[in-house]
Amino acid sequence: MNSTQTDLRLDQEELQELVLGRWAEDRRKMRKLMEDPIFHHQFDLTIAEHRELTLNQLKELADRQVIRKAYPKQFGGQESPGGNIAGFAEMFHAHPSMQIKGGVQWGLFGSAILSLGNEEQHKKWLPAVLNLELPGVYAMTEIGHGSDVGNIDTTATYIPEDDEFEIHTPFRAAWKEFLGNAALHGKAAVVFAQLITKNVNYGVHAFFVPLRDDDGNFLPGVGGEDDGYKGGLNGIDNGRLHFTHVRIPRTNLLDKLGQVDENGDYTTSIASSGRRFFTMLGALVQGRVSLAATAANASALALTGAITYGNQRRQFNAASDIEEQVLLDYGLHQRRLIDRLARTFADIFTANDLVVKFHEVLSGQNDTDENRQELETLAAGIKAVVTWNALDVYQEAREATGGAGYIASKNRFNALRDDLDIYTTFEGDNNVLLQLVGRRLLSDYSKEFANGSFKVLTRYVAERAEDSLYQRSGIRRVIQQVTDVGSDRRSAAWLKDTEVQRSLFTDRVRTQIAEVADALRPVAKKSQAEQAQVFNENQYDLIKAAKSHAQLLQWESFTDALERIEDENTRQIMTWVRDLFALSTIEQDLGWFIEYGHISQQRARALRQYTNRLAARLRPHAQDLVDSFGFTQNHLRMDITTGIEEERQEEAMEYYRRLRASGDAPIPEKVYRARQK
Amino acid sequence: MNSTQTDLRLDQEELQELVLGRWAEDRRKMRKLMEDPIFHHQFDLTIAEHRELTLNQLKELADRQVIRKAYPKQFGGQESPGGNIAGFAEMFHAHPSMQIKGGVQWGLFGSAILSLGNEEQHKKWLPAVLNLELPGVYAMTEIGHGSDVGNIDTTATYIPEDDEFEIHTPFRAAWKEFLGNAALHGKAAVVFAQLITKNVNYGVHAFFVPLRDDDGNFLPGVGGEDDGYKGGLNGIDNGRLHFTHVRIPRTNLLDKLGQVDENGDYTTSIASSGRRFFTMLGALVQGRVSLAATAANASALALTGAITYGNQRRQFNAASDIEEQVLLDYGLHQRRLIDRLARTFADIFTANDLVVKFHEVLSGQNDTDENRQELETLAAGIKAVVTWNALDVYQEAREATGGAGYIASKNRFNALRDDLDIYTTFEGDNNVLLQLVGRRLLSDYSKEFANGSFKVLTRYVAERAEDSLYQRSGIRRVIQQVTDVGSDRRSAAWLKDTEVQRSLFTDRVRTQIAEVADALRPVAKKSQAEQAQVFNENQYDLIKAAKSHAQLLQWESFTDALERIEDENTRQIMTWVRDLFALSTIEQDLGWFIEYGHISQQRARALRQYTNRLAARLRPHAQDLVDSFGFTQNHLRMDITTGIEEERQEEAMEYYRRLRASGDAPIPEKVYRARQK
């Protein structure tokens, strides 16, 4: 390493601004608030105690009026969907159960009333939703369906003689399942059901359904079960609900998208039932964006802990004069933590961009159909990779901090990991979401193919289209002819070239999608069963293509972020971080890149070596990088970041200094035996 | 798929015998016992309640005399170290906290007294250890040291005038940490400390130290802290202990390996302090073997749950006539679960072989120095990969079963995962263990290099040595010249060839080790600091080599197991399973294999396709394969394996059948609108 590289210091303030993104102020305010122990996690609680704590924290949040940002000014809100999510992400480190229960109440239940209800319904219910007088349930998922919401079996049948809807779950598979607030606290629910009137099924609509009386007893026809002890988030009272011929007034249909009059006639402003359905699921997109933003922030927290400890902990031998290396000086430890730090920056920048996109659509700044569709695709892919990354980061942080990392009440890794675990199937199973992305990419690809143009295959991929050397015919494609005779230095220069990285990420998506499309084309006109079989055979590869796409998005967001850095040193260091993200990501799929001729065998070797070197080069900056996240001890609340480790080392070394000075230090057996001889 | 492939049925009984291994009878007995709810996990307990439950279960185990298998007949045992571990592995599914607390009591504390103490000490303490009148602590790890036991700072200084040892932890870093039974139940401890007499330090020895009086209060000079809420295993009362000039009789030194007489003169039968130290740590090897066997068994349990559910769960649309596929019919789901099933069989066979090796050494059947060393290396590597695999299996099983998988009280995945989490750093951090393996391989390699023979590089690798085409000079090595013009069928034949697979696994280890050795050689004569730096730069690659070695061991054990299968169909199916293990493992590191010329680009492509096909080919056998593990519903205790999912589907389909028959079924909106036109 040359000295200029270690002499660089990054500007933590500027980097922090970039990390916190467009709604930095909202995030800082929420972080400040979350330092208050009243909002913190507690350990060793029974489920009942944990639920009580969480409910009380929600009341506190409601009282402090900090959860209304996404709501209209009329209800005390700021009409800032982006600011709302940015703040939401900053509740995680305080107490994930509080955060998610708040998400159920104000992000799902309340949002559904807001986005699907009419003005009268807003006035009637939202004030009580916002001040938590009316805790509610978002009753969409059914036991029999999981991610397949279009086919739910709960019905809402209009009964004209009483001007009422009858909500009914005709069998156990139709019971609503895994619902926050359902087991205990929910007084009402937004229930998603097939709207049937005059014997026509108009598809999934949302209904406001009272659940419990003021004493907390189920109303007639309503019933349920407690989901019990979960893998995490046990502060939330998840449960199942069933409805047996439950009657509600016609006016409880949240009818912004579809209306039923007293004659039972159905009207809608959205003729396409498919589009209506997707608008109905809008709250899920918000959920996915929120989970991505939270997961990225969660990874930053864990790595702050593990890297701070890695910079202090020694497998040290206080008795000897040699001060041993701290863990982070070890090559393996660098790859374990600094690779993941690079990926976490990618996660953060990608999630930030996603929140901006979400804000543009939801605030109406740029609410086109195309933009909504793109938002949906982006949210699906990004949520999947960022939440998986977070679980991986938590596991590595736990292992990298050894036994100390396992003591959850002191260092929290396992507790937070357990709360994050459900993110991988929350608001859509990650694999199902990636399949959605894959299908979208396929459809764009086939349009592109039909049009003979490259415009459609998402904005991100399309950018590169004009200068792509991509070949459609044949299976193996050689995008770059790489000269195998290049020196190591030339290889490194090639690897850190932004355009090279862009090509590698872009071409991988295009090739993988083209390959699946090629496999599907021969059966395009065949029977549904044949199509399904061939799709099935290619499903694994399609999901891989969708992951490649999400990684391209991460790389794009990171590269865009670099351009916004003004301080030259900071930009240089962050460019190394971006390079490490790019190359360690490519390294994990190196077989594919060599197999398809994108990287030569020699360059592959250079890539492995250069990636090791990058991690080592970033090692001196690791602490500054995590410090720039800006978490205080009140956010971290980890023993291992308090300096306790260094104190113990000092104490031990002082002991041995004195012992040696006293002349009473015992002689090692080896020395003694040598003297005996 | 041709019909002969699906027509095969495997012989579950024969496969089960193979899976249960040499001590099948011990395992079956323990499994039977563990069906009793008295031994089962309970949820939603406070730490205090969970610890109490666990202690009572230990008393029950002691009363039923089922934990003495490894002990001498004189103490009611069977002198069967292998049978003991086989049985131990079958306690996991009942209650992991009980299993591990039992491991602390009888596998560490008791074993240390047995293996390090003299006959008098056995008679004095073992009966009370075995019947749990004397719950004890294995006090080895210190806060400041973790995996580096040789440098612990606790001292045991002989005081000749009182004929006593003084146990002392001179500073906080020397406190004993993460000790089971320390926070609450432990009445005594085996404390590892530097033995000092006549001002000479003879290194780490073990001492029997009373901790608490009959009322549970610490004895004078002894103190401690409760570790509190952990990431799992909260039925065990882990804690820290410290000792301030605590006096014990000289006869409390467990003195089988080193003795101190009343004059303070030290004697030992093992002159080498290094060898003495490793013998001292014998209980850790037993711990590692036990964790590997348990983790393999744990993976089998999780996959039984997830695959059974995958065979029943549909994202189904009961309202339509088309019965949708079950999850396991999807290509992605096959790769997610059947790949891992193949790896789990590899884990099981490898762990079984390891237990046999352990038994041979510990029972004295084959207790040579070389065998002990090999056992240590094998245990280290196998424990690392098998425990990591188990965590990965649990995560995938949880995600593959969606929200249901997250309800720990119903389906247990998360709860068991949390209890397994510590396995990755238990009894040695997995990465540290792999480094140990890597160093051993390096040392064998350099001996081999010096001798000009291939004999030493572990038995497993050496087997292949004679016919290896391995080239020492140069970095890139081409072991096979693969003809790129081969057809897909020829490629598949090549890939499933046992000798080809053996070469691929073997040559990878050799090449990776040779490369690290090449990198280290130039600094062999340089300063310690320079050597350390170069070692550090190559640490990541060394760990990868050690992982490759462990995967070779898995492949070897699996291939050996195939030869013991008599039923032809079963052998055929299990050969596909072995092939899937081999090829999916190679696929994960495909970049390396292509880069180093072991697999051509075209064969790499064939490998990807053939691996997909193998998973699909095994799909019809998946249920039989997991059923052969032989777990009953009393072991599984998972909602999703009870058939409840199929019942719900039946109920829903019956509902729609009746509805259609009644003629009252609502018309879909699309049909209605089409009629309107």
Q: pLDDT tens for residues A113-158? A: 999 999 999 999 999 999 999 999 999 999 987 667 888 999 999 9
- Interface touch A655/B612, C-beta < 8 Å: no
Element (H, E) at A206: strand A200-210
Q: Shortest CB distance from A173 goes to which of B532, B536, B649?
A: B649
d(CA A324, CA A457): 53
- Interface touch B231/A589, C-beta < 8 Å: no
Do A349 and A629 meet the contact criterion of CB atoms below 8 Å apart?
Answer: no
pLDDT of residue A560: 97
Is residue A277 very low, low, confident or very high in pLDDT (cuts 50, 70, 90)? confident
Distance of CA A502 to the CA centre of its chain: 23
Q: Which of B366, B367, B502, B509 is nearest to B437 (CA)?
A: B509
Do A517 and A511 meet the contact criterion of CB atoms below 8 Å apart?
Answer: no
Closest-CA residue of B relative to A597 is B601
- Interface touch A538/B605, C-beta < 8 Å: no
Q: pLDDT tens for residues A350-398? A: 999 999 999 999 988 988 888 888 999 999 999 999 999 999 999 999 9
Question: What is residue A247's three-state secondary structure?
Answer: strand
Closest-CA residue of A relative to B401 is A425
Q: Looking at residues A264-288, what average pLDDT do you find?
A: 87
pLDDT of residue B558: 98
pLDDT > 70? residue B362: yes
Q: Looking at residues B544-569, what average pLDDT do you find?
A: 97
Contacts of A639 in chain B (CB under 8 A): none
pLDDT of residue A319: 58
Is residue B364 very low, low, confident or very high in pLDDT (cuts 50, 70, 90)? confident
- Measured from the Cβ of residue A642, the count of other Cβ atoms closer than 10 Å reads 14
pLDDT > 60? residue A517: yes
Is residue B458 very low, low, confident or very high in pLDDT (cuts 50, 70, 90)? very low
Do A341 and A626 meet the contact criterion of CB atoms below 8 Å apart?
Answer: yes
Domain spans, chain A? 12-130, 139-274, 283-627, 643-676
Is residue A616 very low, low, confident or very high in pLDDT (cuts 50, 70, 90)? very high
pLDDT of residue A448: 67
Tokens of A186: 């929910």
Q: Shortest CB distance from B332 goes to which of A329, A543, A670?
A: A543
Q: Does A203 touch chain B (CB under 8 A)?
A: yes
Residue numbers of A between 210 and 249 with CB closer than 8 Å to B? 227-232
Antiparallel, parallel or unpaired: β B155-159 and B136-139? unpaired
Q: Looking at residues B69-87, what average pLDDT do you find?
A: 96
pLDDT > 80? residue B168: yes
Q: Looking at residues A44-58, what average pLDDT do you find?
A: 97
pLDDT of residue A316: 53
Residue numbers of B between 262 and 281 with CB closer than 8 Å to A? 273
- Interface touch B666/A196, C-beta < 8 Å: yes
Mean pLDDT of chain A: 91
- Interface touch B594/A594, C-beta < 8 Å: yes
Do A170 and A133 meet the contact criterion of CB atoms below 8 Å apart?
Answer: no
d(CA B440, CA A563): 48
Do A471 and A515 meet the contact criterion of CB atoms below 8 Å apart?
Answer: no
Do B306 and B401 meet the contact criterion of CB atoms below 8 Å apart?
Answer: yes
Q: Give percent of chain A above pLDDT 70.
A: 92
Do B100 and B421 meet the contact criterion of CB atoms below 8 Å apart?
Answer: no
| Residue tagged 């909504």 (tokens) | A372
pLDDT of residue B3: 44
Tokens of A146: 């999981």
Is residue A489 very low, low, confident or very high in pLDDT (cuts 50, 70, 90)? confident
Residue numbers of B between 646 and 665 with CB closer than 8 Å to A? 648-649, 651-652, 655, 664
pLDDT of residue B183: 98
- A123: closest CA of chain B, how far (Å): 31
Do A235 and A53 meet the contact criterion of CB atoms below 8 Å apart?
Answer: yes
- Interface touch A315/B145, C-beta < 8 Å: yes
pLDDT of residue A484: 43
Element (H, E) at B156: strand B155-159
Q: Which of B110, B64, B41, B562 is nearest to B342 (CA)?
A: B562
Q: Does A164 touch chain B (CB under 8 A)?
A: no
Task: Name the DSSP letter for residue B103.
Answer: I
Q: pLDDT tens for residues A617-643? A: 999 999 999 999 999 999 999 999 999
- A445: closest CA of chain B, how far (Å): 22
Q: What is the DSSP string of B170-232?
A: -SGGGSEEEETTTTTT-SEEEEEEEEEETTEEEEEEEEEEE-B-TTSPBPTTEEEEE--S-SS
Backbone φ and ψ of A460, nearest 5°: -65, -45
Residue numbers of A between 307 and 346 with CB closer than 8 Å to B? 315-319, 325, 329-332, 334-336
- B651: closest CA of chain A, how far (Å): 7
Q: Shortest CB distance from B203 goes to which of A398, A667, A669?
A: A669
Q: Which of B659, B581, B565 is nearest to B615 (CA)?
A: B581
- Interface touch A331/B539, C-beta < 8 Å: yes
Residue B578 Cα distances to A621, B552, B554, B575, angstroms: 45, 12, 10, 5
pLDDT of residue A446: 79
When mean pLDDT is compared across A470-479, A507-516, B627-636, the lowest value belongs to A470-479
Contacts of A543 in chain B (CB under 8 A): 332
d(CA B313, CA B411): 15
Q: Looking at residues A45-63, what average pLDDT do you find?
A: 97
Q: Looking at residues B462-483, what average pLDDT do you find?
A: 33
Q: Shortest CB distance from A669 goes to which of B202, B422, B591?
A: B202
Q: Looking at residues A534-545, what average pLDDT do you find?
A: 92
Is residue B476 very low, low, confident or very high in pLDDT (cuts 50, 70, 90)? very low
Contacts of B593 in chain A (CB under 8 A): 591
Do A33 and A64 meet the contact criterion of CB atoms below 8 Å apart?
Answer: yes
Which range among A470-479, B320-329, B409-418 has the greatest average pLDDT?
B409-418
Contacts of A425 (CB under 8 A, 6+ apart): B399, B402, B403, B405, B406
Q: pLDDT tens for residues A194-250? A: 999 999 999 999 999 999 999 999 999 999 999 999 999 999 999 999 999 999 999
Q: Which of B222, B55, B82, B62 is nearest to B139 (CA)?
A: B222
pLDDT > 80? residue B478: no
Q: pLDDT tens for residues A321-330? A: 556 789 999 9
- Hey, of B225, B229, B590, B660, which one would you mutate to test binding to chain A, going by the most A CBs within 10 A of its CB? B229
CATH domain B139-274 topology:
Butyryl-CoA Dehydrogenase, subunit A; domain 2 (2.40.110)
pLDDT > 70? residue B506: yes
Sequence-distant contacts of A155-161: CB under 8 A, at least 24 apart: A155/A193, A155/A194, A155/A196, A156/A191, A156/A193, A156/A194, A156/A195, A156/A196, A156/A205, A156/A207, A156/A253, A157/A196, A157/A197, A158/A195, A158/A196, A158/A197, A158/A198, A158/A250, A158/A260, A158/A264, A159/A247, A160/A262, A160/A263, A160/A264
Of 3.30.930.10, 3.30.1490.20, 1.20.140.10, 3.90.1510.10, the CATH number of B283-627 is 1.20.140.10
Q: pLDDT tens for residues B223-259? A: 999 999 999 999 999 999 999 999 999 999 999 999 9
Do A346 and A557 meet the contact criterion of CB atoms below 8 Å apart?
Answer: yes
Backbone φ and ψ of A459, nearest 5°: -50, -45
| Residue tagged 């998972």 (tokens) | B638
pLDDT of residue B487: 67
Total-model pTM: 0.94
pLDDT > 80? residue A456: no
pLDDT > 90? residue B448: no
Is residue B319 very low, low, confident or very high in pLDDT (cuts 50, 70, 90)? low
When mean pLDDT is compared across A254-268, B543-557, B594-608, the lowest value belongs to B594-608
Contacts of B52 (CB under 8 A, 6+ apart): none
Q: Looking at residues B55-68, what average pLDDT do you find?
A: 96
When mean pLDDT is compared across A37-41, A305-309, A517-521, A639-643, the lowest value belongs to A517-521
- A205: closest CA of chain B, how far (Å): 13
pLDDT of residue B472: 29
pLDDT of residue B280: 85
pLDDT of residue A323: 62
* Top-level class of domain B12-130: mainly alpha
pLDDT of residue B47: 96
- Interface touch B408/A231, C-beta < 8 Å: yes
